[in-house]
Amino acid sequence: MHAVGARPEIPRSVTVSLGSLLAVVGGFLDSYTFLTRNGVFATSQTGNIVLFGIESARGDWRSAIRHLPPLLAFLAGVLAAELLKRPRVAQRIRWPARAALVIEIIALLIVGALPLSTPDAVVTLTVAFVCSVQVSMFRTLIKWQYNTTMTTGNLRTAAQALFLAWADRDADAALRARAFGMILLAFALGAAFGALCSLLLGVRAAWVAAACLMLCLWMFIADHLRHES
């Protein structure tokens, strides 16, 4: 029960602190696959769709088909995240968000253990799956829709909110601008951190991203322990 006049505590899954850490992971994984897997971005599928269209128009179906597996892996991650939310599954898995984080952590631990000789497709498919689970499970920042693995929509929202905060003195828009600004900064810092770790650690840098997700998981556990005490 909240004290009279106290502001209700928002769920951990929609906090700026968790969203920022997830955005760090999103930026990290983009740098990771780009540097360790021959310039491939695995977190966003826009490029794969565009390249599939270009190569299909050229009649180069062999090259076009290569862009389908990451799309399918991304779709599989979306389905996995949605399955965790189903009432029947939720009855057995009490905390779907935590389960999603565990899936991501296990996948990244495996990716980090694979040798550099492992085909790039294996790694990029796994990372695409991980990112789709994350983006499908964590979609709300306080009360607004956002994305932890891609920045275009977040950038538009931040710019729009900043304008409204300035032009209309809109307090809600100012809050939104600050929140999305944090997500954008976290993504950029994650990309830089991912590049540094990838250059120093190579393929095992994926374990650093897994450690960040473990910290996210600990946030949920710490909240639970605090409420139980």
C-alpha span between 115 and 168 (Å, rounded): 55
For residue 1, the model assigns a pLDDT of: 43
Strand partners, 145: 140
3-state secondary structure of 67: coil
What tens digit of pLDDT does each residue of 180-225 get?
Answer: 999 999 999 999 999 999 999 999 999 999 999 999 999 999 988 8
For residue 207, the model assigns a pLDDT of: 98
Is the per-residue pLDDT at 8 higher than 80?
A: no
What tens digit of pLDDT does each residue of 10-50 get?
Answer: 788 899 999 999 999 999 998 998 898 877 777 777 777 88
Cβ atoms of 143 and 14 within 8 Å: the answer is yes
Domain 12-220 sits in CATH at 1.20.1250
Cα separations in angstroms, 218 against 79, 86, 222: 25, 24, 6
The domain limits of the chain are 12-220
